[in-house]
Amino acid sequence: MQTQTVKTVKTVAPRRRQRRASRNNNVSQPIVQYTTTNRSSRSRSRKQPVQKLVMSSCARDYLQCLVNPFDGPLACVPSDFLNNNRIARTFVRGSFACGPNVGFIAMDPFYMQFNDYPAVISSNSSFAGTTIDLNDTANINLALSNSDYTTAVVGPGNAGLSWRVVGAGLRFRYRGTELNRGGTIHALHDPTHDSLQGRSVSVIDGELQARQLPVTTKWTTILYRPVSPDDLELSITSPGSTTKSPNITAIVPRWYIGAVITPPSNSTLSSFEYEAACVCEYQGRNVRGQVTTHADPVGLSAALQSVVDIHPSQIDSKAVTHTAFQNVLHAVREGITHMAATTAQGDLADEHFKSKNPPIIVNPNRRQSAL
C-alpha cells in the first residue's frame, strides 16, 4: 500500500475568529492569519488636518474695519483693482439728552467724510417732540466731524476729490445717575440707507432689522454696512447734491443710523454720551498721504456676507469681530470664497494679526458654539 505525505500549513486567524473557534469545540475551522495595518488607529495617533480660514490681509482688515470702526485697523475697500488713496479716520464725540417725551440721535456716514455739514444730530433736554426731528434746530445738537476736507473740494477730474465710506459706526451709553436709569432704546440701521427723519418709536419697531435694547452704561453700537454696489464705489458727488455722477446715484443727506430713546417716565431727563467714527477713503491729485490699496474681490464678498446679519447690539467689539469671522466661515462653507486645508501646525495669519486677535481655527467636524 502506497503512503502519501501531506504537508499541513498552519495559519492563524485574527483574534476575533480565534475566539469564535475556541468557543465552538465541535466544529474544526481553519485558522488563517491576516497581516493588516490598523490605519484608523494610526491616523488617530496623528494630528488630524483641520480646515482654517485663510483671508488676505486687506480683506481681513476690511472686515475688522466694518465691525469696529472706532479703533480697528485703517483699511481700504478691497475692490477689483488697485488705487492710490488716502485712508483716514474721522470721529465725533459729544452728549445728548432725552426730552420730556423721547430723545434721539442720528448719524450720516456720508457727512463724516467732511467738516462743513452736521454728521451727528441729537436731541437736548428741551426737545419736546415724539419723533426724530432733524429740523428742530432750537432743540437739537448739530455736530461736525474732524475731517480735513469740505464738500466744496469734491468734484470730477484730477483736481477734484472723490471719496467713499469704508466703515462707520455710532455708539452711545447712559451717563446719568443709577437712580434715574431706565427706559428703552429703539435702534436701527436703515436697510435702504433712507433718512430716519420723522420716524417714531412704533415705526422703528416695525422695521425687521430694528432692535429694542435696555438703557445701560454699556455701549449700544449701530454699525454701518454697504447695501448696494454704489456704496463700494468712489463718489465724485458732494453729499447733499441732487446731481448724479457717472459712478454713483444722487446723494442726499440721510442720517440713516440712529435710535430713539424712551425714558422711564416723562419727568426723567436721561443723559447719554456718544462716539461716531468713520474710516474714509479719499482720492485725487491734491490729496496728500496716499498709499496703494489692495484688490481682493473674493475676500470682499466674504466680508460683506459676514456683516449682513449684524444688527444694533450691546456686545463688545471683540465679540462682534469673532461673530463676523464665524459668519465668514459660514460663507466659506457655502462656497462664497475659498478655504485652504492645512495641518494643525500651519499659520493662519501674520504676527501682527495674531498679536491682536486670536486665530480663527475651525474644525468642520466639531459643532461650533454660538455667541
Please report, for the domain that includes residue 229, its CATH number: 2.60.120.20
pLDDT of residue 329: 60
Residues 334 and 351 in one domain: yes
Q: What value does the mean pLDDT take over residues 61-68?
A: 90
308-312's contacts with Cβ under 8 Å and 24+ in sequence apart are 308/225, 310/67, 310/223, 310/225, 311/189, 311/209, 311/210, 311/211, 312/187, 312/188, 312/189, 312/210, 312/211, 312/213, 312/220, 312/221, 312/222, 312/223, 312/259
pTM: 0.72
Residue 209 to residue 310: CA distance in whole angstroms = 9
Residue 24 lies in a domain: no
Residues 192 and 105 in one domain: yes
Does residue 243 belong to any structural domain of this protein? yes
Indicate whether 14 belongs to any domain.
Answer: no
196 and 267 co-located in one domain: yes
The half-sphere exposure of 122 on its side-chain side, counting CA atoms within 13 A, is 27
Residues 257 and 116 in one domain: yes
Q: Is residue 313 situated within a structural domain?
A: yes
Q: Could you give the number of structural domains in the chain? A: 2
Task: Confirm whether 279 is domain-assigned.
Answer: yes
| Among 144, 141, 146, CA closest to 126 | 141
Domain shared by 312 and 369, yes or no? yes
- Identify the residue whose cell numbers are 475556541: 22
Higher pLDDT, 7 or 362: 7
Strands 103-107, 257-262: pairing is antiparallel
Greatest alpha-carbon pair distance for the chain in Å reads 131
Q: Are both 260 and 323 inside the same structural domain?
A: no
- Domain co-membership, 269 together with 286: yes
Q: What is the pLDDT of residue 365?
A: 39
Q: Say which residue, 199 or 26, is predicted with more confidence.
A: 199
Residues 218 and 237 in one domain: yes
By the 8 A CB rule, do 162 and 113 touch? no
Are 317 and 235 found together in one domain?
no
Q: Which of 235, 267, 292 is the last residue of a domain?
A: 292
Same domain, 361 and 284: no
Tens digit of each residue's pLDDT (9 = 90 or more) over 85-137 = 999 999 999 999 999 899 999 999 999 999 988 999 999 999 999 999 998 88
Spell out the long-range contacts of 295-299 with Cβ–Cβ below 8 A and sequence spacing 24 or more: 295/58, 295/78, 295/79, 295/80, 295/81, 295/82, 296/56, 296/58, 296/59, 296/78, 297/78, 297/79, 297/80, 298/59, 298/337, 298/338, 299/55, 299/56, 299/58, 299/59, 299/60, 299/62, 299/78, 299/337
Predicted confidence at residue 333, as pLDDT, reads 53
Please report which helix (H) or strand (E) contains residue 169, including its range: strand 162-174
Q: Please say if the pLDDT value at position 185 is more than 90.
A: yes
pLDDT at 155 over 90: no
Tell whether 97 and 244 lie within a shared domain. yes
SS3 42: helix
Domain stops at, among 241, 269, 292: 292
Residue 22 lies in a domain: no
155: CB partners within 8 A, 6+ apart: 161, 236, 238
Residue range(s) defining the domain that contains residue 97: 83-292
The rounded distance, in Å, linking the Cα atoms of 79 and 64 is 16
Q: Is residue 320, in this structure, part of any structural domain at all? A: yes
Q: Quick one: pLDDT band at residue 271, thresholds 50, 70, 90?
A: very high
Write the CA distances from 200 to 104, 258, 311, integer angstroms. 10, 12, 19
338 and 277 inside one domain: no
Q: Of 298, 297, 322, which Cα lies nearest the Cα of 310? A: 322
370 contacts 309 by C-beta, under 8 angstroms: no
∠ CA 313-317-322 to the nearest 5 degrees? 100
The label of the residue with cell 420716524 reads 199
From 69-73, 238-242, 272-276, 352-356, the region with the lowest mean pLDDT:
352-356
- Domain boundary residue among 244, 268, 292? 292
CA gyration radius for the chain? 31
Could you tell me if residue 9 is inside a domain?
no
Q: What average pLDDT does this structure show over 20-46?
A: 46
290: Cβ contacts below 8 Å, ≥ 6 apart? 84, 85, 86, 283
